[in-house]
């Protein structure tokens, strides 16, 4: 093996004709070729203490790696992003369903949790997509085995979030999205603490919220008043959330882009949220 010793200022490098960057280390041919082609393309002149010399960066890299005893990283030195649990909540009428649906369309690597329920399947509903339809006996066994993240009784039927579904998708690197009402978010906060990301959705104004609810044409005057008064109380709980996003009428893309940015920012943190289910 032919070797060459080169001094530049306070540094001395020994270059060799070996085909790998660092003797005694395991490199794939693909990694070797990648580094070689990239560095040979940028061969430059190093001028130290007034001495000009053309110096092959490949040789320098080989000797640095050999001196370190390990290869140099070829990617960014940042923590690997961890899967998140993202809880999206807010008062009735702020557009939670539309936001979650659009988020699923534009962002890869997220899974919207499907709730398990004991109620009968309605016309047009798909098992495993709209809900997991299970027997009361099966649901009670999940409770007994502590296999539900949270559950409640709604009009005599059980509804709950299976833990295994979350574990399965997080083990594959997916972020988990949960869409819940404000009370449900409070329950999840008590269970998950700061390990999950909580986002609160609001309309652009109370007037806009009332107009949206009226446009549904499903509310009586009394029910409309109840929903608006409930929304006022729920907005007071915004402080329990990590972020707030205004979902203005006709601005769905802007809202989803903001939520995407929030998720990206969370994944860029040095100290990321750690979830154990």
Beta carbons of 188 and 113 less than 8 angstroms apart: no
Is CATH 3.30.63.10 correct for 116-163?
yes
Instruction: Give per-residue pLDDT as tens, 59-100.
Output: 888 899 999 999 998 888 888 889 999 999 999 999 999 999
Residue that is written with structure tokens 């409640």 in the block: 152
**Which pLDDT belongs to residue 158?**
94
In degrees to the nearest 10, what's the CA dihedral of 23, 25, 26, 28?
-50
The pLDDT assigned to 58 comes to: 84
What is the pTM assigned to this prediction? Answer: 0.74
The CATH code belonging to domain 78-109+173-277 is: 3.40.50.300
More confident residue, 171 or 156: 171
pLDDT of residue 276: 84
Catalytic residue numbers, as ranges: 122, 216, 227
Domain boundaries, the chain: 3-68, 78-109+173-277, 116-163
**HSE-up of residue 168 (Cα within 13 Å, Cβ side):** 9
Distance between CA atoms of residues 1 and 137, nearest Å: 74
List pLDDT tens digits, range 234-256. Answer: 999 999 999 999 999 999 999 99
């Amino acid at each position: 093996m032919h070797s060459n010793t080169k001094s530049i200022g306070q540094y001395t490098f020994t270059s060799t004709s070996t085909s790998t960057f660092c003797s005694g280390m395991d490199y794939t041919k693909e990694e070797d070729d990648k580094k070689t082609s990239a560095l040979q393309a940028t061969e430059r002149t190093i001028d130290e203490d007034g001495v000009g010399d053309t110096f092959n960066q490949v040789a320098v890299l080989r000797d640095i790696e050999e001196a370190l005893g390990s290869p140099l990283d070829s990617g960014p030195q940042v923590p690997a992003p961890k899967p998140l649990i993202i809880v999206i909540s807010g008062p009735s009428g702020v557009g939670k369903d539309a936001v979650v649906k659009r988020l699923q369309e534009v962002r890869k690597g997220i899974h919207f949790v499907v709730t398990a329920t004991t109620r009968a399947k309605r016309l047009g509903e798909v098992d495993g997509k709209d809900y997991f339809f299970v027997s009361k006996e099966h649901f009670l066994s999940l409770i007994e085995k502590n296999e539900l993240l949270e559950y409640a009784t709604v009009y005599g039927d059980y509804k709950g979030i299976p833990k295994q579904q979350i574990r399965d998708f997080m083990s594959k690197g997916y972020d988990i999205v949960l869409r819940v009402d404000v009370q449900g978010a409070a329950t999840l906060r008590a269970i998950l603490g700061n390990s999950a990301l909580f986002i609160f959705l609001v309309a652009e104004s109370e007037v806009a919220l009332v107009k949206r609810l009226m446009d549904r044409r499903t509310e009586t005057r009394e029910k409309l008043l109840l929903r608006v008064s409930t929304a006022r109380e729920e907005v007071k709980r915004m402080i329990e959330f990590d972020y707030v996003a205004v979902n203005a009428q006709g601005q769905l893309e802007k809202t989803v882009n903001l939520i995407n940015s929030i998720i990206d920012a969370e994944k860029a943190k040095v100290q990321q949220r750690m979830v154990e289910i």
